[in-house]
């Protein structure tokens, strides 16, 4: 039997036309520009760059506009775009210690060298809606003060000097850097692949996973050793030029989580670490990432591995919102044939059930 | 070159244009036509450990050769190919004995100064949000 497998082209075309119309909204209202999105919805742009795994503010703003503000759809658009460009290579690793800090706080030491710098933060706001923003709002010029030239060392470096915290694992000689956009993921995965996965992972998923560790599902007693946000320089070793060329600077947020001890008969006990790093000002994301990074080190640190956040296969296979939305949303595509076969099976089962329910006496009478 | 990577394409072009009014810039050709691509940005585990791939960035690059032989390379974050070409041109000119000093004086130095002013302003705004702790004296006397 043949069934119709074509059709709907005009409906699809008209649906896209209607979408474009709805996206624009009431045309008596001014159209939003990419600059407006980039400047005034900056944290949405940061999230799309982080999870889209592509640092380009203008493209992220375009994606947000095209997606009508649906950030996961925007992330999808950015991921699809990145597949259209050739890759020139990999940058030199950025030096977050040399960051031009715009915000830097530690919850472990009050008096850190370089000081506690609040920067532009929602912390300490009262979370009351501000009606003045409903009309045109011109903010006061920012206050200024003499900037100190004192360095702002990482809190973990300060703890590390006294051996109170484990040092970061160094690269093994000749070891490559894993790239999950190039090679399929295998388990167990190295820390490099885990951090790459978390860096592009869904903020909401990581938040829930990180939160679950705090509530006891893989508890590891975290302190926010330091959170810093600011600009770092990017350098790239250019084959043609034969030296590392400066590419400009990017904004990053880094979180160093300090966690409870490890130690053994041969090693003095020391704090352990979880690490978070993401594009833009992404504090919730990097804090969650650092909690989950630490939880995923459970096996390495000899902890009992029972909670979801400690299970790398579970975390890494479900963190990507483009993959997740693809599989969840594919359910709305036609499954007519699959469904027909299920329906046929169900009818057969129901008939068997009905037959079994019919008392033998009735059957005999019928015969 | 870091200064040029931080500048806007329009600013570099305007300064080169002004310079060209006094000084005929040499002929040059594209050694590598400007193109857009990606660079994988890397971080380090814990900030100072083994490298890992953080995510990509758009990058533009170009290379030019002056008639006198100097070769310049231009790389910059973003998709502005013209900016990469302008940086490559400046990179070539700065190596030239006839133009090097003028490029440094009339293009790079003023752009560096603008960059420093912007950074100084940002640093001053950040510094104003630094917490000054003080100890409350409890009780009397």
Predicted confidence (pLDDT) per residue in A44-71, tens digit: 999 999 999 999 999 999 999 999 999 9
Q: Map out the domains of chain A as residue ranges.
A: 10-82, 96-119+151-167+185-325
DSSP chain B: -HHHHHS-HHHHHHHHHHHHHHSPPPPEEEEEEEEEEEEEEEEEGGGTSSEEEEEEEEEEEEEEEETTS-EEEEEEESS-HHHHHHHHHHHHHHTSTTTHHHHIIIIIHHHHHHHHHHHHHHHHHHHTTB----PPPPS--
Nearest CA in chain A to B2: A246
- Taking the Cβ of residue A35 and every Cβ of chain B, the question of whether any pair is shorter than 8 Å is answered with no
Query: Is the Cβ–Cβ distance between A367 and A360 less than 8 Å?
Result: no
Q: Map out the domains of chain B as residue ranges.
A: 2-111
B130–A59 CB contact, under 8 Å = no
Write the pLDDT tens digit of every residue in A92-110.
999 999 999 999 999 998 8
Chain B residues in contact with A100 by the CB 8 A cut-off are 119, 122-123
Task: Provide the Cα torsion A43, A44, A50, A52; round to 10°.
Answer: -170
Write the pLDDT tens digit of every residue in A173-197.
888 999 999 999 899 999 999 999 9
Distances (CA, A) of B43 to A177, A252, A279, B52: 11, 10, 11, 6
Supply the pLDDT for residue A264: 80
Interface of B with A in 95-114 (CB under 8 A): none
CB atoms within 10 A of CB A102: 22
Residue bearing tokens 């850190």: A112
- Residue A61's nearest CA partner among A70, A48, A76 is A48
CA-CA-CA-CA torsion sign (A82, A84, A90, A92) = negative
How distant is the Cα of A84 from the closest Cα of chain B, in angstroms?
9
- Residue A194's nearest CA partner among A54, A289, A71 is A289
- Write down the number of H helices and E strands in chain A: 13, 6
Query: Coil, helix or strand for A306?
Result: coil
How distant is the Cα of A136 from the closest Cα of chain B, in angstroms?
23
Nearest residue, CB atoms, B73 vs list A103, A115, A245: A245
The Cα B124–Cα A214 span in angstroms is: 37
Q: What ipTM was reported for this prediction? A: 0.94
- Taking the Cβ of residue B65 and every Cβ of chain A, the question of whether any pair is shorter than 8 Å is answered with no
- At A2, the pLDDT band (50, 70, 90 cuts) reads low
Write the pLDDT tens digit of every residue in A142-182.
999 999 888 888 999 888 988 899 999 999 888 899 999 99
Interface of A with B in 115-174 (CB under 8 A): 115-120, 142-148, 154, 156-157, 167-172
Write the pLDDT tens digit of every residue in B28-84.
999 999 999 999 999 999 999 999 999 999 999 999 999 999 999 999 999 999 999
């Amino acid at each position: 039997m043949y069934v119709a497998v074509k059709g709907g082209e005009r409906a699809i075309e008209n649906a896209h036309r209607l979408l474009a119309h709805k996206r624009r909204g009431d045309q008596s209202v001014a159209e939003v520009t990419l600059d407006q999105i980039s400047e005034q919805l900056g944290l949405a742009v940061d999230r799309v760059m982080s999870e889209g795994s592509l640092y380009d503010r203008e493209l992220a703003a375009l994606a947000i506009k095209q997606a009508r503000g649906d950030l996961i759809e925007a992330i999808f658009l950015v991921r699809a775009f990145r597949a259209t460009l050739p890759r020139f290579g990999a940058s030199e690793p950025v030096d977050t210690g040399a960051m031009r800090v715009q915000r830097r706080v530690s919850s472990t030491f009050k008096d850190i060298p370089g000081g506690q710098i609040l920067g532009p933060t929602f912390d300490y706001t009262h979370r009351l809606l501000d009606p003045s923003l409903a009309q045109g709002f011109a903010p006061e010029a920012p206050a200024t003060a003499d900037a100190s030239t004192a360095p702002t060392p990482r809190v973990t470096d300060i703890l590390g000097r006294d051996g109170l915290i484990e040092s970061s694992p160094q690269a093994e000689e000749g070891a490559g850097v894993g790239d999950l956009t190039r090679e399929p993921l295998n388990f167990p995965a190295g820390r490099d692949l885990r951090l790459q996965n978390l860096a592009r992972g869904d903020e909401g998923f990581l938040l829930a996973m990180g939160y679950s560790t705090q509530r006891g599902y893989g508890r590891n007693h975290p302190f926010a050793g330091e959170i810093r946000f600011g600009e770092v320089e990017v350098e790239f070793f250019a084959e043609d030029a034969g030296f590392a060329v400066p590419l400009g600077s990017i904004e990053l947020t880094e979180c160093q989580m300090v966690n409870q001890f490890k130690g053994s008969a041969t090693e003095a006990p020391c704090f352990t670490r979880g690490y978070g790093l993401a594009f833009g000002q992404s504090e919730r994301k990097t804090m969650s990432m650092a909690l989950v990074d630490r939880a995923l080190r459970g096996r390495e640190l000899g902890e009992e591995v029972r909670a979801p956040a400690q299970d790398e296969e579970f975390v890494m296979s479900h963190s990507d919102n483009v993959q997740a939305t693809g599989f969840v949303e594919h359910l709305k595509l036609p499954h007519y044939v699959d469904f027909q076969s299920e329906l046929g099976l169900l009818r057969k089962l129901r008939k068997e059930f009905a037959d079994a329910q019919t008392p033998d006496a009735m059957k005999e009478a019928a015969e | 070159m870091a200064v040029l990577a931080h500048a806007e394409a329009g600013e570099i072009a305007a300064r080169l244009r002004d310079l060209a009014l006094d000084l005929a810039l040499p002929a040059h050709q594209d050694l590598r036509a400007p193109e857009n691509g990606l660079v994988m940005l890397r971080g380090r585990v814990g900030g100072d450990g083994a490298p890992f791939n953080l995510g990509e960035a758009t990058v533009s690059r170009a290379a030019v050769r002056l008639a006198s032989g100097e070769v310049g390379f231009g790389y910059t974050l973003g998709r502005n190919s013209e900016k990469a070409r302008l940086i490559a041109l400046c990179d070539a000119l700065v190596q030239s004995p006839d133009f090097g000093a003028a490029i440094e004086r009339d293009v790079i130095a003023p752009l560096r100064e603008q960059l420093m002013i912007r950074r100084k302003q940002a640093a001053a705004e950040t510094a104003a949000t630094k917490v000054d702790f003080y100890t409350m004296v409890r009780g009397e006397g």
